[in-house]
C-alpha cells in the first residue's frame, strides 16, 4: 500500500532546448499537489549549466554522414 510510486515524465527544458526524463516521487507530494506545478518546478530546477557543460564536452550531436 505504501509502495513508492515513481513516475517518469519526459520534460522539456526550453532554456537548453533539451528533453529529459525526470522521476517524480508521487507518494511524497502533497495530496492536493498540482502535477503541472511540480513538472514546471522540475523544469525550472533543470541544471542548465551542468547540461550545457555536458553537451559541450560529449553531447555534441553526431554528424550524420
Ligand atoms: Zn535546462
Q: Is it the case that residue 7 has pLDDT exceeding 60?
A: yes
State in Å: Cα 2 to ligand 1 middle: 33
Cα distances (Å, whole numbers) of residue 49 to 10, 21, 31, 54 = 19, 17, 32, 8
State in Å: Cα 1 to ligand 1 middle: 35
Residue 53: per-residue pLDDT: 92
How sure is the predictor about 48, in pLDDT bands with cuts at 50, 70 and 90? very high
* C-beta atoms surrounding 13 within 10 Å: 18
More confident residue, 3 or 33: 33
Residues whose Cβ atom is located within 5 A of ion ligand 1: 13, 15-16, 46, 48
Cα distances (Å, whole numbers) of residue 18 to 14, 43, 65 = 7, 10, 23
More confident residue, 61 or 49: 49
Predicted TM-score (pTM) of this structure: 0.67
Domain boundaries, the chain: 6-50
Of 15, 13, 33, residue with least CA distance to 24: 33
Amino acid at each position: 500500500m505504501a509502495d513508492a510510486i515513481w513516475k517518469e515524465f519526459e520534460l522539456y527544458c526550453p532554456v537548453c532546448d533539451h528533453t529529459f526524463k525526470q522521476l517524480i516521487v508521487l507518494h511524497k507530494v502533497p495530496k492536493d499537489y498540482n502535477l503541472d506545478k511540480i513538472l514546471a518546478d522540475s523544469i525550472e530546477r533543470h541544471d542548465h549549466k551542468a547540461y550545457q557543460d555536458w553537451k559541450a564536452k560529449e553531447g555534441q550531436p553526431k554528424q550524420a554522414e
